[in-house]
């Protein structure tokens, strides 16, 4: 079964976006569904052009360079379908697109010659090349990151109720039906606040921000009608198109910057921008915060008063399941934020498409909740965990026939205490798979329901 595939490779993610946008506009796929009337539908993963990019994404994630695997001659027509021929087409046309962006006519001609008489490539590839070039034409030379002018900037001018319900979901921006259904489940719980931890796939283009996030977000949550406050952080995929579309999106949401602070008398939720500096697809130079943002964060910690602090980010401080550079702790974030963690109640992040409940580690209660919508096959999460040094609470997502469940977290505040419930889409909506209490008993193990 074909499925959506992403890769942490900025240029290839833009190629996936170019293919996706070309097909979406051609198909006119507007149907009545959970996204509302007239919603643009994400192209079917079984479309050969989409499936080809999925295969190449897997190669990239496995550290294989697609162009090195291109045969000298096109595969025989008998291999067409979701296989050698369509992968060949997508790889060659991506090389043509990259040469076009660089203005390298000789390279473009050489790659076109590799196509030779192989004419069964979908003619829409040439349109995808034009779209790819357009992405680079409008891409910002520098991400339009916003630096505070007054250290008190970006504290949201809205006071959370003492008994606020705060929904948090990560890596949700797929635009697929599963994402829409999960957001509808969140909406039925009538949250006061919904915070997305980032990643709108494949590369955060204007088309993707509009159709796979903003339109669905508004139609399902109806923030203006319900009064729900909504926010979205920066993930790595949100920056691959240059960041401009992300900042246009948060302006429409009424969010002042890519980092911000929500407060009431007892709690503060501090959102950080870890997406800005995730530009190393091999992960050898882990992401970090701008120095000015660290100053801003320190001020929020210093001025918290009696409030308890929850940190939110896209990227993880540590992980049991992946590698961060050579290890399992991000040394840059640890250096920048570590000295403040004794004043932090919990830190929630996404990035990994998993739900992981950690025991206290590195001085903080860490929670990975990047399981909002991206499909993860039931054999893809390593078992046992890659880094046994990182202590876990034994709570795992349910497995379906092919994929792990998706889910989200609901934080229900009650004065200085918070009940934190972890929901997955395979459960009855009224029953959380795991609950815990933050506040007087910070770090309590919680309970599996």
Question: Could you give the angle at the alpha carbon of 175 between the alpha carbons of 223 and 349, nearest 5°?
Answer: 75
Spatial strand order of the sheet with 260-263 comes to 155-159, 260-263, 267-271, 308-312, 346-349, 366-369, 355-357
What is the rounded average pLDDT of the residues 198-225? 97
What does the alpha-carbon distance between residue 299 and residue 319 come to, in Å, rounded to a whole number?
Answer: 27
DSSP 191-243: -SEEEE-S-BTTT--HHHHIIIIIHHHHHHH-HHHH--EEEE---HHHHTT-S
Residue 256 has pLDDT above 90, yes or no: yes
Lowest mean pLDDT segment, chosen from 29-38, 314-323, 394-403, 413-422: 29-38
**Domains by residue range for the chain, with CATH:** 10-138 (no CATH), 155-448 (3.60.21.10)
Is the CB of residue 124 less than 8 Å from the CB of residue 26? Answer: yes
- Between 31 and 197, where is the model more confident? 197
422 vs 3, higher pLDDT? 422
Q: What are phi and psi of 210, to 5 degrees?
A: -75, -50
Mean pLDDT value across residues 168-173: 98
pLDDT score of 262: 98
pLDDT attached to residue 93: 95
Q: Looking at residues 295-302, what average pLDDT do you find?
A: 98
- 91-117 tens-digit pLDDT: 999 999 999 999 999 999 999 988 876
Please determine, for residue 375, whether its predicted confidence score (pLDDT) is greater than 70: yes
Q: What is the pLDDT of residue 140?
A: 81
Confidence bin at 266 (pLDDT 50/70/90): very high
Confidence at residue 35, expressed as pLDDT on a 0 to 100 scale: 43
pLDDT of residue 64: 80
**Distance of alpha carbon 376 from alpha carbon 371, whole angstroms:** 8
- For residue 446, pLDDT over 90 is answered with no
b vs e for 172-204, b when ≥16 Cβ sit within 10 Å of the residue's Cβ?
A: bbbbbebbbebbbbbbebebbbbbbbbbbbbbb
The predicted pLDDT at position 69 comes to: 61
| Average pLDDT for the chain | 91
Q: What percentage of the chain exceeds 90 in pLDDT?
A: 80
Percent of the chain with pLDDT over 70: 90
Task: Note the pLDDT of residue 250.
Answer: 98
| pLDDT bucket at 2, cuts 50 / 70 / 90 | confident
Confidence of residue 287 (pLDDT cuts 50, 70, 90): very high
pLDDT digits (tens, 9 = 90+) for 36-92: 445 689 999 999 999 999 999 999 988 787 766 665 555 554 444 446 788 889 999
What is the reported pTM? 0.94
Beta bridge partners of 447: 435
Say whether pLDDT at 32 is over 50. Answer: no
* Nearest in space to 344 (alpha carbons), one of 282, 300, 389, 388: 300
Residue 1 in this model has a pLDDT that exceeds 80: no
């Amino acid at each position: 079964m074909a499925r959506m595939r992403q890769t942490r490779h900025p240029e290839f993610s833009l190629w996936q976006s170019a293919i996706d946008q070309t097909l979406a506009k051609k198909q006119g796929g507007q149907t009545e569904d959970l996204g509302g009337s007239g919603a643009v539908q994400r192209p079917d993963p079984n479309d050969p052009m989409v499936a080809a990019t999925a295969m190449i994404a897997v190669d990239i994630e496995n550290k294989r360079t697609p162009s090195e695997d291109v045969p000298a001659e096109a595969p025989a027509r008998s291999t067409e379908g979701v296989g050698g021929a369509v992968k060949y087409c997508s790889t060659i046309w991506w090389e043509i697109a990259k040469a076009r962006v660089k203005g390298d006519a000789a390279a473009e001609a050489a790659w076109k010659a590799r196509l030779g008489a192989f004419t069964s490539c979908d003619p829409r590839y040439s349109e995808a090349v034009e779209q790819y070039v357009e992405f680079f034409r409008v891409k910002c030379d520098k991400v339009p990151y916003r630096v505070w002018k007054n250290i008190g900037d970006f504290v949201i001018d809205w006071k959370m109720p003492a008994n606020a319900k705060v929904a948090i979901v990560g890596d949700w921006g797929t635009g697929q039906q599963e994402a829409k259904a999960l957001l509808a489940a969140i909406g039925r719980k009538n949250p006061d606040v919904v915070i997305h931890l980032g990643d709108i796939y494949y590369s955060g283009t204007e088309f993707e921000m509009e159709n796979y996030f903003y339109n669905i977000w508004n139609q399902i949550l109806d923030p203006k009608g319900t009064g729900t406050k909504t926010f979205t952080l920066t993930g790595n995929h949100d920056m691959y198109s240059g960041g401009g579309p992300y900042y246009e999106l948060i302006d429409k949401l009424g969010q002042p910057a890519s980092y911000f602070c929500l407060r009431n008398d007892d709690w503060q939720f501090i959102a950080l921008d870890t997406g800005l500096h995730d530009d190393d697809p091999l992960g050898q130079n882990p992401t970090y915060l701008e120095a000015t943002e660290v100053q801003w964060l320190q001020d929020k910690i210093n001025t918290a008063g009696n409030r308890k602090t929850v940190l939110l980010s896209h990227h993880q401080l540590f992980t049991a399941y992946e590698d961060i550079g050579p290890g399992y702790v991000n040394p840059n974030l640890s250096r920048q934020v570590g000295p403040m963690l004794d004043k932090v109640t919990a830190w929630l992040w996404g990035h990994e498409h998993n739900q992981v409940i950690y025991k206290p580690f590195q001085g903080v209660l860490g929670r990975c909740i990047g399981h909002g919508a991206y499909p993860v096959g039931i054999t893809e999460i390593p078992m046992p965990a890659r880094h046994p040094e990182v202590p876990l609470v034994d709570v795992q997502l349910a497995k379906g026939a092919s994929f792990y469940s998706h889910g989200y977290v609901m934080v229900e505040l009650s004065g200085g205490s918070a009940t934190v419930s972890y929901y997955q889409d395979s459960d009855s909506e009224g029953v959380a798979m795991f609950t815990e209490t933050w506040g007087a008993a910070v770090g309590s193990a919680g309970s599996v329901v």
